[in-house]
Amino acid sequence: MIEITIDNTPIMAEEGTTILQAARANGIAIPHLCYHPALKPSGACKLCGVEVASPTGRQVIMLSCILKAKPGLVIKTDSPMVAEHREKAFAKLLNLAPDSERIRNLAAEYKVPVPPMPNGCIRCRLCVRVCNDVVGARALKMVKKETGNRVVPGEGNCIGCGTCANLCPTKVMRVKDEAGVRTVYIKDEVVSRLPLERCEACGNLYATSDFLAHVEAHTGDHPHTKAVHHLCTACAKLMSDRAVTETLRPKK
């Protein structure tokens, strides 16, 4: 057995053992993810970095899963140098696996800043732009947060048209029709809940009253538009096909 010092505490370690193994055997916590006692160490995750004096006397970070215990070795597992190294190592891992609960919890345990869980939004702003520039409802906006831009409900009123959800490339914007109500979501955050109207021809629930009122107010008085406002798309198509057929039928 040899004596080493970890965080000012002298401990006994078996010769040939690694610092991580010695720390674990003595109840000293060092974060690690790629170490397994049945396998040779690989140093892949880099989380187990500790501060130690190099042979030249300079303080350096070395991976405790690889560093072998030597008599008189002085190790720091909690120093500004270790904290900086650990933060970088966690940042790399969280970049690769941002929604890993295990990595997020471990980072929080070691007081490493954890970015918010990604919600799948790629900040393309298609939903915000279409709602503002085409629909004109201004029901969505992009806000700057410390952790990056986020789409949130805007100042306007959502009319439940569903255009944002149709355009969203990652399906973060969603529309759900249930029990006669349409709900528009940004991931799991509700933007609006609006009652659905029935098609006057087939009776199917098909659009929100707010959307129909919006269409009524924004379209010209033309038989091919206003005449089919109270019909679902399938019935509207059927009616217009019939109208075309009637027009083309030779007069007797």
CB of 65 to ligand SF4, least distance (A): 50
The span of 82-90, 93-101, 109-117, 158-166 binding ligand SF4 (CB under 6 A) equals 158-166
Closest CA to 160 of 213, 199, 216: 213
Q: Closer to ligand SF4 at the Cβ: 13 or 186?
A: 186
For residue 163 the two structure tokens come to 């255009």
Considering only residues 112, 191, 207, 212, which one is a binding residue for ligand SF4 as defined by CB under 6 A? 191
- Shorter beta-carbon distance to ligand SF4: residue 77 or 208: 208
Residue closer to ligand SF4 (CB basis): 75 or 191: 191
Under rule CB under 6 A, residue 103 binds ligand SF4: no
Q: Please name the helix (run of DSSP H) or strand (run of DSSP E) that holds residue 238, with its range, or none.
A: helix 233-248
Quick one: 43 or 153, whose CB is closer to ligand SF4? 153
Smallest separation (angstroms) from ligand SF4 to the CB of 138: 8
139 part of the interface to ligand SF4, by CB under 6 A: yes
Strands of the sheet containing 2-6, edge to edge, are: 9-13, 2-6, 74-76, 49-53, 59-63
What is each CA distance from 1 to 14, 37, 43, in whole angstroms?
5, 20, 25
Check residue 23 for interaction with ligand SF4 (CB under 6 A): no
As a whole number of angstroms, the distance between CA 2 and CA 73 comes to: 10
DSSP codes joined into one string, 55-95: TTS-EEEEETTTPBP-TT-EEESSSHHHHHHHHHHHHHHHH
Binding site for ligand SF4 (CB under 6 A): 130-131, 135, 137, 139-140, 158-164, 184, 191-192
